[in-house]
């Protein structure tokens, strides 16, 4: 059984897709052992509670320095003894010691086709604003392993989504969530839980 911790900051629709995927059998061999939010008002915390999953808030605001927060976050994760950490809209820089402790065991969902519209400062609605400003006809989502860079880790899965004329950032964001994020994040977790993903020299192979 793959034990996962899901880290969230906001609405938690990706968390919900994981909860639903486990319930309906799209995701097998997987248990969510905890949800961690950096934001006490995140609706994702409610979703976790409704599903009977233990959920905590670990916020940088409650710690004197970033280092102390980083330790608290790592300890919070370690106390849950996960096999995999899933960043599902988690707007916190992952501390280097956590990346080292969980090399190729942290995945992130990004709402564009990496390497487009990603990197430092490119998150949330900004991703879709940039895609629309550039006039791309196709965008999408990417699930990747987390390394020391921002959105630079090995790519596991991507799904393209059409950009329509007249799209606003909000409309495009929603379409990418529905058609890509809520599909490829659960699928990736299922593949990982069933030993079907191999990482070699930064390249990912699906067996
Ligand atoms: C998603 O678009 C995700 O790709 C991005 O943040 C958003 C989180 O949405 N990293 P939600 O909290 O899962 O609803």
What was the pLDDT predicted at 8? Answer: 98
Q: What is the mean pLDDT of each run of 10 residues along the chain (207 residues)?
A: 97 98 98 98 98 97 97 97 98 95 97 97 96 98 97 97 98 98 98 97 93
What was the pLDDT predicted at 32? Answer: 98
Spatial separation of the C-alpha atoms in residues 152 and 144, rounded to whole Å: 8
For Cα atoms 86, 2, 195, give the angle at the middle one, nearest 5 degrees. 100
Q: Are 131 and 163 in contact (CB under 8 A)?
A: yes
The ligand 1 atom at the shortest distance from the C-alpha of residue 110 is 4
User: Considering only CA atoms, which residue is closest to atom 3 of ligand 1?
Assistant: 89
Is the CB of residue 111 below 6 angstroms from any atom belonging to ligand 1?
yes
User: Which of 7, 46, 88, 118 should be mutated for ligand 1, with most atoms under 8 A from CB?
Assistant: 88
110 is known as an active-site residue? yes
Q: Which of 33, 104, 110, 145 is catalytic?
A: 110
Closest CA to 113 of 133, 87, 139: 139
pTM higher than the cut 0.85:
yes
Kindly tell me the burial class for residue 52, based on how many C-beta atoms sit within 10 Å of its own C-beta (0-12, 13-18, 19 or more).
exposed
User: Considering only CA atoms, which residue is closest to atom 5 of ligand 1?
Assistant: 89
Q: What's the 13 CA to ligand 1 centre distance in angstroms?
A: 7
What was the pLDDT predicted at 201? Answer: 87
């Amino acid at each position: 059984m793959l034990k996962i911790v899901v880290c969230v900051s906001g609405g938690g629709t990706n968390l919900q897709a994981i909860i639903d995927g486990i319930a309906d059998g799209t995701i097998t061999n997987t248990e969510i052992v905890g949800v961690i939010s950096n934001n006490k008002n995140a609706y994702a915390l409610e979703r976790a509670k409704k599903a009977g999953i233990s959920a905590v808030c670990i916020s940088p605001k409650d710690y004197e320095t970033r280092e102390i927060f980083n330790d608290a976050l790592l300890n919070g994760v370690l106390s849950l003894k996960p096999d995999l950490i899933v960043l599902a809209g988690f707007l916190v820089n992952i501390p280097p010691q956590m990346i080292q402790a969980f090399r190729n065991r942290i995945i992130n969902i990004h709402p564009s086709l990496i390497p487009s519209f990603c990197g430092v400062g490119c998150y949330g609605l900004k991703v879709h604003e940039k895609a629309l400003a550039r006039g791309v006809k196709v965008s999408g989502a990417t699930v990747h392993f987390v390394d020391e860079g921002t959105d630079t880790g090995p790519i596991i899965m991507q799904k393209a989504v059409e950009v329509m004329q007249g799209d606003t950032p909000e409309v495009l964001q929603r379409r990418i969530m529905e058609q890509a994020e809520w599909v490829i994040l659960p699928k990736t977790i299922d593949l990982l839980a069933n030993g079907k993903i191999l990482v070699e020299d930064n390249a990912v192979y699906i067996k």
